[in-house]
């Protein structure tokens, strides 16, 4: 028991030092424009967990917290949505048509602003409830996006106490069509019982947002290093 308490105390000290280092580096955010993209919204719930817990609601909470951290750090932030809505025209009917226009407008927003980074926040789901963890996706052939993905993945691995995950390449619309450094962050599996509970916890949502923030800070401060994603 004493050993466990000592390990826990050392972990807290290490985390505090790490957070202080991130705060010191936050000056690298000054003047940077970050587009924060909470996935889904409106008629599109995203992944659905038991008791009708929705991805769109979870990621909006994480995005709001991330936005606060970024603005406090000196960055300019534009959220693609600030409430339960999508970006499609009201008269567009049908989920497919709305989704198509919604995604195109999210991408167009980041491109038109010439953002320094775009962070698209999501929640994962899988038919195997044993699947868990945080995964970052980026596009191939873009060193800047790869650095951003690697930096955020490293911080997320610290949160869940693992070093086994690396960024993955993905051909998702949000990251393949943007012309700025962009990543998709799958913050956990709503289909996993443990992560289902964590993802609804406001304290854990704040931890996710802080790790996202730390990864972004390290990226702009030049502290991330190239790492080949898994295929």
Give pLDDT tens digits for 106-115.
999 999 999 9
In which band, very low, low, confident or very high, does the pLDDT at 212 lie, cut at 50, 70 and 90?
very high
Q: Report d(CA 105, CA 103) in Å as an integer.
A: 5
3-state helix, strand, coil in the chain (%, to 5): 50, 15, 35
What are the angstrom distances between the C-alpha of 26 and each of 66, 73, 77, 161, 213?
A: 14, 6, 14, 24, 9
Pairing mode, if any, of strands 182-189 and 117-124?
A: parallel
- Name the helix (H) or strand (E) containing 215: helix 202-220
Q: Is the pLDDT of residue 39 over 80?
A: yes
Q: Which is nearest to 125 in space by CA: 43, 59, 194, 48?
A: 48
Q: Which is nearest to 147 in space by CA: 228, 63, 90, 37?
A: 228
Q: Please, what CATH class does the domain formed by 2-220 belong to?
A: alpha beta
pTM of the predicted model over 0.85: yes
User: Can you name the residues that pair with 123 across neighbouring β-strands?
Assistant: none
Query: How confident is the model over 35-42, as a mean pLDDT?
Result: 98
């Amino acid at each position: 028991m004493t050993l466990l308490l000592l390990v826990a105390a050392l972990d807290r000290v290490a985390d505090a030092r790490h957070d202080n280092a991130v705060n010191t580096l936050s000056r690298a955010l000054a003047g940077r424009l970050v587009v924060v993209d909470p996935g889904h919204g409106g008629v599109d719930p995203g992944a659905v967990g038991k008791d009708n817990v929705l991805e769109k609601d979870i990621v909006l909470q994480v995005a709001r917290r991330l936005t606060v951290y970024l603005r406090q750090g000196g960055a300019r932030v534009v959220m693609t949505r600030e409430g339960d809505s999508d970006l499609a025209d009201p008269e567009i009917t049908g989920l497919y048509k709305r989704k198509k226009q919604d995604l195109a407008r999210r991408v167009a927003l980041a491109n038109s602003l010439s953002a320094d980074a775009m962070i698209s926040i999501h929640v994962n789901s899988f038919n195997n409830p044993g699947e868990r963890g945080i995964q970052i996706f980026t596009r191939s052939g873009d060193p800047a996006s790869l650095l951003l993905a690697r930096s955020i993945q490293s911080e997320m691995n610290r949160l869940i106490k693992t070093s086994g995950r690396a960024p993955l390449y993905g051909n998702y619309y949000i990251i393949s069509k943007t012309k700025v450094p962009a990543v998709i962050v799958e913050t956990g599996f709503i289909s996993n019982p443990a992560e289902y509970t964590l993802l609804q916890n406001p304290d854990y949502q704040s931890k996710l947002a802080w790790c996202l923030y730390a990864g972004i800070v390290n990226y702009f401060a030049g502290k991330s290093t190239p790492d080949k994603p898994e295929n």
